[in-house]
């Protein structure tokens, strides 16, 4: 018995300390409430709190608390929960920014393909809370990374192809330069041979004319670098030289009588020379025809080269686009690493919370074991009470014959016993209800386990509050049991004293009857108060059940919304897969086009090599026709310069064209920026909606705080009730002592 009483006293002291800590906590008011009012204008004002304090002034009991009950306490569980919530919201904001920047590319593609559909869909979007959870977005991000890797591999292949093309172009350019140098060397050799042949002339030519011819040859060599004249000018020069030769010959060699044979010979030689010049002229015409054919071939080649250059430019543009995409993807990868870090931090926090939850479950098991021990001790006490009742009944049978007043006391004692039994039954009912409540709380906790990831801090706090309430009610019940046991003991002591007094025949019956009546009235009052408390507890349980049902309905609605959004996300993922397949097909087509370009280039190179070989054979066989080939080379050189000029003009035109396209791209980018700003505005609106939801949650929290304040008031009332009972117990003890003194005096 003594150990049981000591344990119960320690439990009562612990409950009193908990009540004091709850009453001293800064949740009800004080600076914490002022901060809440600054940040949340919908919170309750301090005036309402002052009115409540005024109404409950009579219920306040002096305690060891300080004068300022709303003193600020650092690192309270509520403050820590708010900090964790703020950190979670910051992480969600960072994640949303990352998602917006990632999905901007996808939105741009959809807007380019389906601009009206994208606009209508963006207006009708309603974001669910699960959309902000990184765990649900992980599959999309993984698919996005796979797509990026495929594009990067394709870009590498294109780079390798372009490098091979550049190497081939360089090799072709070097071959062209070597051929040009060979042609120049051949031309110089032919010029030197012609000069040597011209040095041996069958007839005498004056030195002045010979110097003029040499100067003209030098001019022709210089014009080989600066574009020579055309075929007609050369023919005119040849005719002029022919006339000058005739004049110089007639002036230097006048006709002498008797030299007619020599003159005839000279005329014949001149005719032969004219015939050779005519043959050379015909050869020049043939060479001009060949040159024209070569020009046509070169024009075809230039067209093919221009087409290949255009294709190369297109490939360069595509490469630049792919590079931009790669840069964006690298930024997105960095953001992914940041999100992974935040997810790891969240996992650590969740593990800590699970550990706390396991500790709380262990504490609940310990409480259950303590309850079972208390119930066993109650059964033992009931057995002792039954034995004691039997002994009392035997003693009363012996006293019946001597005193008639003892019958009244017996009746009163029976009524007290019935009241005690009723109270014990009520206590058993309360214990059964407590068991039911604990079962209900466990069931509700299992239902809320699915929702634990989103609101784990709030659920843990609610469970802790409920556990405190259960402990508090258990303490009250234990205190009531102790009080009833003590009252029972006092009644038994009084009955023993009455029996002893009856045996000694020194009992003053009216005085005892009055005392018993007074005790009966007190017990009835206590029973009424316990019934009121029981009704209050039942009402509070009903309210909590209603709140739990409302929250369950809300959770079901949210679960349906999450299912709908998940279906929509799966459809979007399938669309993205189809887009990726189309891109792969487009890339395969581009590769085929590149291969076709390569084959065309190889064929063109083969044809050029064949033509060059044919020209080399002709040049090796026909050394006499080098003059004609010189003219052909000069014509080709002129044409090449013309082509260069044409290419420069084309380059200028292309430069202007690209400038126009750049301006168009700027306009497109501005439009995309405008679309992005509209999307950002929509996201800000959604953030405002989320802020409204947060405000609703804060209102719910305020209601919970009010409920907690009511519990504090109830705790104060119960402390007052306990002190009243202590005073009444002291008064009863004093009255019993006075009665004993009066009996002894008599």
> Mind listing the pLDDT tens digit for each residue in 282-291?
776 776 676 6
Distance CA 397, CA 46 (A): 67
- Crossing angle of helices 405-447 and 509-621, rounded to 10°: 0
Predicted confidence (pLDDT) at residue 1 exceeds the cutoff of 60 = no
Supply the range of the domain harboring residue 212: 208-251
Considering only residues 93 and 344, tell me which one the structure prediction assigns the higher pLDDT: 93
At residue 9 the predicted structure's pLDDT band, cuts being 50, 70 and 90, is very low
Across 46-60, 223-237, 244-258, the highest mean pLDDT is recorded for 223-237
Tell me the average pLDDT across 562-587.
Answer: 73
pLDDT at 486 over 70: yes
Structural domain contains residue 202: no
Count of other CB atoms within 10 angstroms of residue 484: 18
Residue 115 CB neighbour total at 10 angstroms: 10
Long-range contacts made by residues 185-189, C-beta under 8 angstroms, separation at least 24? 186/619, 186/626, 186/629, 187/224, 187/626, 187/629, 187/630, 187/633
Neighbours of 452 (CB within 10 A): 17
Note whether 33 and 43 are within 8 A (CB).
Answer: yes
Q: What pLDDT score does 44 carry? A: 40
pLDDT of residue 716: 79
Does position 673 have pLDDT exceeding 60, yes or no?
Answer: yes
Residue 217 inside a domain? The answer is yes
> Which whole number is the average pLDDT over 703-730?
78
- Asked if the structure places residue 237 within a domain, the reply is yes
Reading the block at residue 568, the tokens are 């929509």
Per-residue pLDDT band for 526 (boundaries 50, 70, 90) equals confident
Query: What SS3 class is residue 634?
Result: helix
Exposed, middle or buried by CB within 10 Å (0-12, 13-18, 19+), for 463?
middle
Contact present, 567 and 134 (Cβ < 8 Å) = no
Share of the chain above pLDDT 70, in %: 47
* pLDDT on residue 39: 40
Residue with the bigger pLDDT between 633 and 675: it is: 675
477-505 mean pLDDT:
68
The pLDDT of 115-123, averaged and rounded, is 47
Question: Tell me, what's the pLDDT at 581?
Answer: 76
What is the Cα–Cα distance from 469 to 711, expressed in whole angstroms? 9
- How many whole angstroms from its chain centre is CA 701? 28
pLDDT bin (cut points 50, 70, 90) of residue 516 is low
Q: What is the DSSP string of 171-198?
A: HHHHHHHHHHHHHHHHHHHHHHHHHHHH
Of the pLDDT bands very low, low, confident and very high (cuts 50, 70, 90), residue 108 is low
> How far apart (Å, rounded) are the C-alpha atoms in residues 117 and 415?
84
| Residue 184, both tokens | 């120049």
Would 69 be classed as within a structural domain?
no
Number of domains present in the structure of the chain:
1
pLDDT score, position 203: 40
- Over residues 132-142, the mean pLDDT reads 61
Mean pLDDT of the chain: 66
Query: Residue 29 has what pLDDT?
Result: 41
The mean pLDDT value for 462-482 works out to 70
Residue that is written with structure tokens 């260069």 in the block: 644
Query: Looking at the domain assignment, is residue 218 inside a domain?
Result: yes
Q: Which among 592, 530, 519 is positioned nearest to 718, based on CA atoms?
A: 530
Report how far residue 384's alpha carbon sits from residue 387's, in angstroms, rounded to the nearest whole number: 5
Can you tell me the mean pLDDT for 670-680? 79
- Percent of the chain clearing pLDDT 90 (strictly above): 0
Looking at residue 111, its pLDDT comes to 67
Q: For 198-208, write each residue's pLDDT tens digit.
A: 544 434 445 66
- Bigger pLDDT: 671 or 374? 671
Beta carbons within 10 angstroms of residue 342's beta carbon: 17
pLDDT greater than 50 at residue 6? no
Which residue do the tokens 């009800």 mark? 28
Is residue 224 in a domain?
A: yes
* Contact predicate 95/103, CB 8 Å: no
| CA gap 219, 635 in Å, rounded | 16
Position 656 pLDDT exceeds 80: yes
H-helix or E-strand containing 443? Answer: helix 405-447
Residue 454: per-residue pLDDT: 65
Which residues of 385-448 form beta strands (DSSP E)? none
Q: What is the pLDDT of residues 318-373, one digit of tens each?
A: 667 766 777 777 777 777 777 777 777 767 777 777 677 677 677 777 777 776 77
254 pLDDT above the threshold of 70: no
**pTM, entire model:** 0.18
Task: Please tell me the predicted confidence (pLDDT) of residue 22.
Answer: 39
Q: What is the mean pLDDT of residues 638-643?
A: 74
- What are 158-196's pLDDT values in tens digits? 778 777 777 777 777 677 777 777 777 776 776 676 666
Measured distance CA(410)–CA(394) in Å, rounded: 12
Residues 6 or more apart whose CB falls under 8 angstroms from that of 158 comprise 315, 318, 319, 322
**Residue 25 DSSP code:** S
Does 262 fall in a domain?
Answer: no
Residue 234 is predicted with a pLDDT of 58
- Report the greatest alpha carbon distance in the chain: 211
Whole-angstrom distance, CA of residue 551 vs CA of residue 688: 23
Q: What is the 3-state secondary structure (H, E, C) of 484-526?
A: HHHHHHHHHHHHHHHHHHHHHCCCCHHHHHHHHHHHHHHHHHH
Q: Does a structural domain hold residue 235?
A: yes
pLDDT (tens digit per residue) in 14-73:
444 443 443 333 333 444 444 444 443 333 434 444 454 454 444 444 444 444 443 444
At residue 721, the pLDDT reads 77
């Amino acid at each position: 018995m003594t150990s049981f009483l000591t344990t119960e006293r320690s439990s009562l002291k612990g409950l009193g300390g908990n009540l004091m800590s709850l009453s001293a906590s800064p949740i009800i008011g004080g600076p914490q409430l002022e901060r809440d009012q600054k940040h949340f204008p919908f919170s309750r004002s301090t005036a309402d709190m002052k009115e409540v304090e005024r109404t409950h002034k009579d219920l306040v009991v002096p305690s060891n608390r300080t004068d300022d009950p709303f003193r600020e306490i650092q690192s309270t569980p509520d403050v820590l929960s708010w900090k964790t919530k703020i950190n979670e919201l910051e992480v969600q904001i960072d994640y949303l920014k990352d998602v917006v920047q990632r999905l901007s590319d996808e939105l741009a593609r959809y807007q380019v393909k389906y601009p009206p559909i994208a606009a209508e869909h963006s207006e009708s979007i309603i974001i669910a809370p699960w959309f902000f959870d990184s765990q649900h977005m992980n599959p999309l991000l993984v698919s996005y990374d796979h797509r990026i890797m495929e594009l990067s591999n394709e870009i590498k292949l294109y780079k390798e192809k372009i490098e091979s093309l550049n190497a081939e172009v360089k090799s072709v350019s070097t071959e062209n330069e070597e051929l040009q140098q060979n042609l120049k060397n051949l031309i110089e050799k032919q010029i030197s041979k012609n000069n040597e042949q011209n040095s041996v002339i069958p007839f005498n030519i004056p030195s002045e004319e010979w110097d003029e011819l040499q100067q003209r040859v030098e001019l022709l060599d210089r014009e080989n670098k600066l574009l020579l004249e055309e075929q007609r000018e050369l023919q005119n020069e040849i005719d002029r030289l022919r006339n000058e030769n005739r004049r110089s010959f007639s002036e230097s060699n006048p006709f002498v009588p008797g030299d007619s044979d020599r003159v005839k010979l000279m005329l014949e030689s001149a005719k032969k020379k004219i015939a050779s010049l005519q043959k050379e002229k015909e050869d020049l015409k043939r060479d001009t025809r060949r040159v024209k054919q070569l020009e046509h071939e070169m024009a075809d080649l230039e067209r093919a080269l221009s087409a290949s250059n255009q294709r190369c430019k297109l490939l360069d543009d595509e490469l630049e686009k792919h590079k931009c995409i790669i840069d964006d993807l690298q930024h997105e990868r960095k953001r992914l690493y940041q999100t992974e870090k935040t997810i790891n931090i969240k996992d650590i926090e969740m593990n800590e919370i699970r550990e706390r939850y396991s500790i709380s479950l262990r504490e609940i098991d310990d409480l259950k074991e303590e309850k079972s021990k208390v119930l066993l001790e109650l059964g033992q006490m009931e057995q002792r009470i039954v034995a004691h009742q039997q002994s009392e009944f035997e003693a009363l049978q012996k006293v019946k014959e001597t005193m008639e007043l003892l019958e009244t006391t017996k009746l009163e004692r029976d009524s007290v016993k019935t009241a005690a039994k009723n109270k014990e039954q009520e206590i058993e009912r309360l214990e059964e209800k407590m068991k039911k409540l604990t079962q209900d709380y466990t069931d509700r906790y299992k239902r809320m386990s699915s929702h634990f990831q989103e609101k784990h801090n709030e659920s843990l706090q609610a469970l802790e509050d409920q556990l405190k309430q259960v402990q508090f009610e258990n303490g009250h019940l234990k205190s009531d049991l102790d009080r009833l046991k003590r009252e029972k003991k006092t009644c038994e002591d009084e009955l023993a004293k009455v029996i002893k007094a009856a045996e000694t025949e020194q009992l003053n019956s009216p005085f005892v009857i009055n005392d018993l009546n007074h005790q009966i009235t007190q017990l009835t009052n206590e029973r009424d108060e316990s019934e009121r408390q029981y009704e209050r507890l039942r009402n509070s349980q009903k309210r909590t059940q209603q709140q739990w049902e409302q929250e369950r309905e809300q959770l079901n609605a949210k679960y349906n919304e999450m299912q709908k959004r998940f279906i929509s996300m799966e459809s979007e993922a399938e669309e993205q897969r189809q887009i990726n397949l189309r891109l792969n097909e487009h890339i395969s087509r581009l590769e085929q086009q590149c291969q076709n370009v390569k084959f065309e280039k190889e064929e063109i190179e083969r044809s050029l090599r064949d033509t060059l070989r044919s020209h080399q054979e002709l040049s090796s066989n026909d050394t006499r026709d080098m003059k004609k080939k010189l003219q052909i080379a000069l014509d080709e050189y002129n044409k090449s310069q013309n082509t260069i000029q044409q290419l420069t003009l084309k380059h200028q035109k292309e430069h202007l064209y690209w400038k126009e396209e750049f301006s168009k791209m700027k306009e497109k980018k501005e439009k995309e920026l405008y679309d992005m700003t509209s999307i950002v505005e929509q996201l800000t609106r959604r953030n405002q909606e989320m802020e409204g939801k947060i405000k609703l949650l804060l209102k719910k929290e305020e209601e919970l705080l009010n409920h907690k304040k009511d519990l504090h008031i109830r705790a104060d009332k119960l402390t007052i009730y306990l002190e009243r009972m202590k005073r009444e117990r002291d008064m009863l003890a004093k009255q019993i002592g006075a009665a004993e003194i009066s009996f002894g005096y008599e």
